[in-house]
Structure 1
Amino acid sequence: MGIEKRFVNGAPQPIAPFSHACRVGDLVFITGQMPTVPETNEMLLGTFTEQTHRVMQNLAIVLEAVGSAFEHVVQSRVFITNMGHFDEVNGVYASYFENPLPTRTCIGVTGLAGGADVEVDMIAWIPPTDD
């Protein structure tokens, strides 16, 4: 089976050398998504709420392309540049899931690529298809 590295059409273009996702067996490792608008490939530098929604929407694009969804996320990492916005980011993040939530780590950072304030990466399960 090996490792399947995926570049996803319709997702934001990478600003660094990476694939959007790497599948190993029935798990997919999704590169951290930034608040980049896929249609223009420009960074959305709005509020933490706006940036978090865009990040989660970008993750949804990748999850769907690889045959998964938020309900199958097993772990994520959230990176934010200002922990004073922790609750704001949490509220948006949680709105994309139903309970029980996946495991998660939140990391306060001094900066993110492109001047973004929010980045999220994920590991998700890819359920079998009924082919």
Structure 2
Amino acid sequence: MSNRAIISTPDAPEAIGPYSQAVKVGNTVWISGQIPLVPGSMELVTGDISAQATQVFNNLAAIAEAAGGSLNHAVKINISLTDLGDFAAVNEVMTDFFSQPYPARACVQVAALPRAVKIEVEAILAV
């Protein structure tokens, strides 16, 4: 695929498995699921779900910027939570990172996430 580009930035955590931070084909960017890892140190953010969600969206924003866009280019967000009781808090954090009209979104509860975090978010952008 000649128009496929791998997106990578030191401003977001390195992949912790065999995947890319993001892949861009044409004007579509698929950002891999992000957990609350701090770029550089690769340490997990400690604190409540709001602190974890803020780091996740910061990571997504850094990758979106490296792809030539921003989170306002998001057309679909997928959120995985280990506790749907965190739904409202994540919604509140999300409004700090996105402007209306908001992207389409799914939010599901899962049994577990990598490194025992409470949240993982992936995004699809049209830039």
Q: 1:28-67 CA distances to partner (integer Å, 9 max, x unpaired)?
A: 0000111001131111132100000000000111011110
- Equivalent position amino acid for 2:99 in 1: E
Counting matched residue pairs gives 126
Q: Which is further off, 92-101 or 76-85?
A: 92-101
TM-score (norm 1): 0.91
Match of 2:118 in 1: 117
Q: Does 1:57 align with 2:58?
A: yes
User: Hey, what's the Cα distance between the residues in 2 that align with 1:92 and 1:11?
Assistant: 18
Match of 1:108 in 2: 109
1:75 touches 1:123 (CA, 8 Å); kept in 2? yes
Match of 1:90 in 2: 91
1:75 touches 1:104 (CA, 8 Å); kept in 2? yes
TM-score (norm 2): 0.94
- Equivalent position amino acid for 2:94 in 1: Y
Gaps of 5+ in 1: 127-131
User: Hey, what's the Cα distance between the residues in 1 that align with 2:100 and 2:67?
Assistant: 23
Q: Please tell me the root mean square deviation across aligned C-alpha atoms, in Å.
A: 1.1
Match of 2:77 in 1: 76
User: Hey, what's the Cα distance between the residues in 2 that align with 1:27 and 1:120?
Assistant: 17
User: Hey, what's the Cα distance between the residues in 1 that align with 2:27 and 2:14?
Assistant: 25
User: Hey, what's the Cα distance between the residues in 2 that align with 1:111 and 1:46?
Assistant: 18
User: Hey, what's the Cα distance between the residues in 2 that align with 1:106 and 1:118?
Assistant: 10
User: Hey, what's the Cα distance between the residues in 2 that align with 1:71 and 1:84?
Assistant: 26
